Amino acid sequence: MNNLVIIGNGFDLAHGLKTSYTNFIENLIDRAFAERHSSAKKLGRILSIPKGIRNKDEIWGEIHKVRLDTSNTLNTLNTLLILHHLLIRTHLKCWCDIERAYFDLLLSIDSKGTIKYYDDVKKLNSDFLIIKQELDNYLSSQEVENCITGYETLLSYLCDYNSLVLNFNYTDTIERLYTNEVKSNRLVHIHGELKSDSNPMIFGFSANDSESLNLVDK
């Protein structure tokens, strides 16, 4: 059969991996709380929670205040500007939404004429790279052990040497669990792979209109 099989984040979620946007953000917050009592500050400039905030409910309370008053800022949290922007957009559901949030922030900075004040757009890109690295580390820490019989049967039926599997996930769940069903030479990680130099994660955006392209050129 000539089949095109597309794998998305639902595949990882079905296997019990915590790969949603919310999972990633909550992991950052949990780690930030843990680091308050540790000499090792691995999160560094990403997210630092002062002693005055006692639990995650208080963090979300601060975020709620920001959503109600857009002139307010997360004064009690030390975050990257990009992470600040992501925290207050709790409706985000997928990684493409994070990429869109990044670009919206880029546009908003430029529209206010403050792009140089924020140490130009390269600073924002540097912050975005930090988030990308943390995402790579987080997703790489996810472990999955058991295949799902239904997927095993379906992939055996769909995949042969004339079929192509497009994996939109960064993870390697499908080849780890379904080696017999999916041939490696017929599998494409279209968005890149975790911890890979030859096929690194693609995490960003594509500018389409001339105004956006001009902004990127800056």
- Alpha carbon distance 118, 121 (integer Å): 7
Instruction: Calculate the CA 8 to chain-centre distance.
Output: 14
Buried b (16+ CB within 10 A) or exposed e, 190-205: ebebbeeeeeebebeb
DSSP annotation of 88 reads: T
Average pLDDT, the chain: 74
* In the chain, % of residues over pLDDT 70: 62
Q: Is 46 within 8 Å of 83 (Cβ atoms)? A: yes
Residue with the bigger pLDDT between 173 and 28: it is: 173
Among 140, 173, 150, residue whose Cα is nearest residue 9 = 173
The reported pTM is 0.75
* In the chain, domain spans: 1-19+146-218, 21-141
Residue 74 in contact with residue 84, Cβ under 8 Å?
A: yes
pLDDT of residue 53: 76
Please tell me which of 46-50, 154-158, 205-209 the model is most confident about, judged by mean pLDDT: 154-158
Per-residue model confidence as pLDDT tens digits over 89-147 = 555 555 555 666 667 767 766 665 555 555 656 777 777 788 888 889 999 999 887 88
Average pLDDT over residues 141-165: 86
DSSP character at residue 141: T
Residues 6+ apart with CB under 8 A from 122: none
Q: pLDDT for 53-91, tens place per residue? A: 777 777 766 665 655 454 444 444 445 555 655 565 555
Is the pLDDT at 196 greater than 90? The verdict is yes
As given in the structure block, the two tokens for residue 22 are 């919310």
Mean pLDDT to the nearest integer, 160-164: 82
